[in-house]
């Protein structure tokens, strides 16, 4: 009794398929699918010449491409003795999802391919971080451990605060109430934004801001009588102090130097003083005679000190971000019962350094600055404010001329 083999099913193609030629090597053929480019490949099922993967996947060629993918996956599952049941199940699920997406159309298939790419990146990230003590790593070390795709996506979010990724980072940061610092210990995330970012006129539905520091009492400066004009001469040093203050608080995720905020972030006053001393040595050195002659001299010195402890060097974008709060700290309020916020900032630092030694060199120096800066007129404050604004515009122009930070490495500073 003979067994008849079933007759092969006839495949109807929406394009003509050339018959293979014999003898001499065939000349270059035009792609049988797009009809635009020279073909480099031949489909093993229908013998059509095609030029690229896009053409192989084209809808006109789906009667070959879809069975090819299905057969490839099935053969891989059957031939791999190391694949466990879970892995085989995942591969079958992936195949089913691709088939469903292909049936729904190109948009669904593209979305699924992007999803699969994200999963591969997540696997790469998990492999890179496996076995590491993340709590012991500094932010720069952790950043360099990330796969390149994750770094690029993170930096793109920094450059474009309006992007979906940036908004998602902000949302996840604000929704998270604690940060892990050990197996059983957590630090609550600050629930308030830095006090210096609060608008002068309160806005409806505005996010919560930390309370501004209290102005140092008049008793602290009552006996200090700086010579006339001292305030103008020390104004640029005060700008450097502002920059160091903002940098330090953002680095430690502190909305202010109040004891409550220091405790909530598990940051000691000595840690803050140490960072300020590194960035601002003239403040902590009792016999320092440093005096800056311009706003650029002031911010350049602080920025150089910040960059000396980072690798790679931070970019102009981050410097602009650090300078941006300064005009608001310098602006003299119309209400003469209030003072420029820079005096509140100096008062915050005074309270930090005055405990437990109110008569030490740094508190005395800060008290002298407070007394000297009270000599400045409204026009003096406005002149300083305009000078800083011009510096920011210059830096923005320089940054735009260099193409921004796209071609340079960045440091993830000042992130919640």
Is the pLDDT confidence value at 352 over 70? yes
Residue 114: the pLDDT is 53
Per-residue pLDDT, 408: 41
- Determine the Cα angle at 329 with ends 386 and 311, to 5°: 90
Question: pLDDT at residue 241 above 90?
Answer: yes
Comparison of pLDDT for 4 and 248, the residue scoring more: 248
Band (44; pLDDT cuts 50, 70, 90): confident
Task: Give the least confident one: 155-169, 309-323, 353-367.
Answer: 155-169
For residue 188, the SS3 value is strand
Q: Residue 400 has what pLDDT? A: 79
3-state secondary structure of 33: coil
Nearest Cα to 349, choosing from 265, 251, 264, 277?
A: 277
**Strand partners for 360:** none
* Per-residue confidence (pLDDT) for residue 32, from 0 to 100: 86
Please say whether the beta carbons of 171 and 164 come within 8 A.
Answer: no
Which single residue is written with the structure tokens 């891989």?
76
Hey, which of 13-22, 31-40, 169-178, 234-243 has the most confident mean pLDDT? 234-243
Give me the mean pLDDT over the 46-70 stretch: 76
What's the pLDDT score for residue 98?
Answer: 60
Spatial separation of the C-alpha atoms in residues 315 and 121, rounded to whole Å: 27
Per-residue pLDDT, 19: 55
Rounded to an integer, the average pLDDT of 13-32 is 59
Does 186 or 100 have the greater pLDDT score? 100
Q: What is the pLDDT of residue 181?
A: 41
Measure the CA–CA gap between 367 and 386, rounded to whole angstroms.
26
Which tokens go with 311? Answer: 């690798």
- In the structure encoding, which two tokens stand for residue 377, read together? 């007129």
User: Which has the minimum average pLDDT: 29-38, 134-143, 211-220, 282-291?
Assistant: 134-143
Tokens of 80: 């791999």
| Residue in the block written with tokens 């690029």 | 152
Instruction: Choose the weakest-confidence range: 129-143, 240-254, 257-271, 384-398.
Output: 129-143
Residue 168's SS3 state is helix
Confidence grade of residue 316 (pLDDT, cut at 50, 70, 90): confident
Name the DSSP letter for residue 401: H
- Report pLDDT for 190: 60
DSSP SS3 for 38: strand
Whole-number Å distance between alpha carbons of 191 and 166: 19
Please check the confidence at residue 160 and state whether its pLDDT lies above 80. Answer: no
Q: How confident is the model at residue 310 (pLDDT cuts 50, 70, 90)?
A: confident
Whole-number pLDDT of residue 184:
42
Mean pLDDT of the 73-100 span: 59
Of residues 203 and 352, the one with the higher pLDDT is: 352
206 backbone φψ class: left, alpha, beta (φ>0; ψ -120 to 50): beta
Report the Cα 284 to chain-centroid distance in Å.
Answer: 32
pLDDT at site 248: 92
Residue 187 pLDDT > 60, yes or no? no
Per-residue confidence (pLDDT) for residue 66, from 0 to 100: 63
**290 DSSP 8-state letter:** -
Pairing type for strands 178-180 and 186-188 reads antiparallel
pLDDT category, 313, cuts 50, 70, 90? confident
Most confident of 28-37, 74-83, 237-246: 237-246
Percent of the chain with pLDDT over 90: 28
41 - beta bridge partners?
A: 50
pLDDT exceeds cutoff 90 at 83: no
Tell me, what's the pLDDT at 185? 45
Q: What is the DSSP letter of 61?
A: G
Sign of CA dihedral 107, 108, 111, 117: negative
pLDDT value of residue 107:
53
pLDDT value at 409 more than 50? no
Read off the pTM. Answer: 0.55
Residue 357 has pLDDT above 70, yes or no: yes
Pairing of strands 178-180, 49-50: unpaired
- What pairs with residue 42 in β-bridges? 49
pLDDT for the residue numbered 209: 87
Q: Determine the Cα–Cα distance for residues 294 and 130; give it in Å rounded to an integer.
A: 49
- State how far the Cα of 408 lies from the Cα of 286, in Å rounded to an integer: 39
Buried/exposed 379-401: b ≥16 CB within 10 Å, e otherwise: ebbeebbebbbebbeebeeebee
SS3 209: strand
- Mean pLDDT for the stretch of residues 212-226: 90
**275-276-280-282 Cα dihedral, nearest 10 degrees:** -120
Tens-digit pLDDT profile for residues 67-81: 666 666 556 655 555
pLDDT in tens, 96-106: 666 565 555 55
In this structure, what token pair is assigned to residue 134?
């993340």
Q: Report the mean per-residue pLDDT for the chain.
A: 75
Report yes or no: 302 and 279 within 8 Å, Cβ to Cβ.
yes
Phi and psi at 41, nearest 5°, equal -135, 165
Residue range 292-315: average pLDDT?
86
């Amino acid at each position: 009794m003979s067994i008849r083999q079933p007759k092969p099913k006839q495949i109807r193609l929406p394009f003509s398929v050339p018959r293979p030629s014999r003898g001499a090597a065939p000349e270059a053929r035009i792609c049988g699918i797009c009809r635009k480019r020279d073909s480099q490949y031949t489909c093993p099922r229908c013998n059509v010449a095609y030029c690229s993967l896009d053409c192989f996947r084209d809808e006109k060629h789906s009667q070959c491409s879809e069975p090819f993918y299905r057969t490839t996956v099935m053969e891989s599952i059957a031939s791999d003795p190391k694949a466990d049941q879970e892995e085989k199940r995942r591969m079958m699920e992936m195949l089913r999802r691709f088939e469903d997406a292909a049936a729904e159309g190109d948009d669904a298939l593209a979305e699924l391919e992007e999803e699969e790419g994200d999963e591969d990146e997540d696997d790469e990230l998990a492999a890179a971080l496996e076995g590491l003590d993340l709590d012991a790593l500094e932010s720069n070390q952790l950043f360099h451990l990330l796969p390149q795709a994750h770094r690029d996506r993170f930096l793109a979010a920094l450059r474009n605060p309006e992007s979906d990724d940036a908004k998602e980072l902000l949302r996840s940061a604000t929704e998270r109430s604690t940060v892990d610092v050990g197996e059983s210990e957590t630090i609550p995330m600050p629930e308030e934004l830095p006090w210096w970012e609060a608008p002068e006129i309160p806005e409806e539905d505005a996010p919560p801001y930390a309370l501004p520091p209290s102005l140092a009492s008049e008793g602290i400066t009552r006996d200090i009588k700086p010579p006339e004009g001292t305030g103008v001469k020390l104004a640029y040093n005060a700008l450097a102090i502002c920059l160091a203050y903002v940098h330090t608080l953002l680095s430690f995720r502190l909305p202010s130097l109040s004891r409550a905020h220091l405790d909530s972030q598990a940051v000691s006053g000595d840690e803050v003083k140490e960072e300020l001393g590194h960035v601002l040595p003239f403040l902590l050195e009792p016999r320092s005679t440093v005096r800056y002659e311009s706003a650029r001299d002031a911010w350049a010195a602080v920025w150089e000190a910040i960059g000396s402890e980072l690798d790679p060097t931070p970019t102009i974008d981050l410097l602009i971000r650090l300078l941006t709060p300064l005009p608001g700290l310098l602006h003299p309020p119309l209400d003469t019962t209030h003072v420029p916020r820079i005096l509140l900032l100096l008062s915050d630092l005074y309270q930090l350094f005055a405990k437990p030694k109110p008569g030490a060199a740094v508190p005395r120096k800060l008290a002298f600055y407070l007394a000297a800066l009270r000599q400045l007129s409204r026009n003096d404050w406005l002149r300083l404010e305009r000078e800083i604004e011009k510096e920011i515009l210059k830096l923005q122009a320089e940054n735009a001329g260099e193409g921004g930070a796209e071609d340079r490495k960045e440091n993830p500073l000042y992130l919640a």
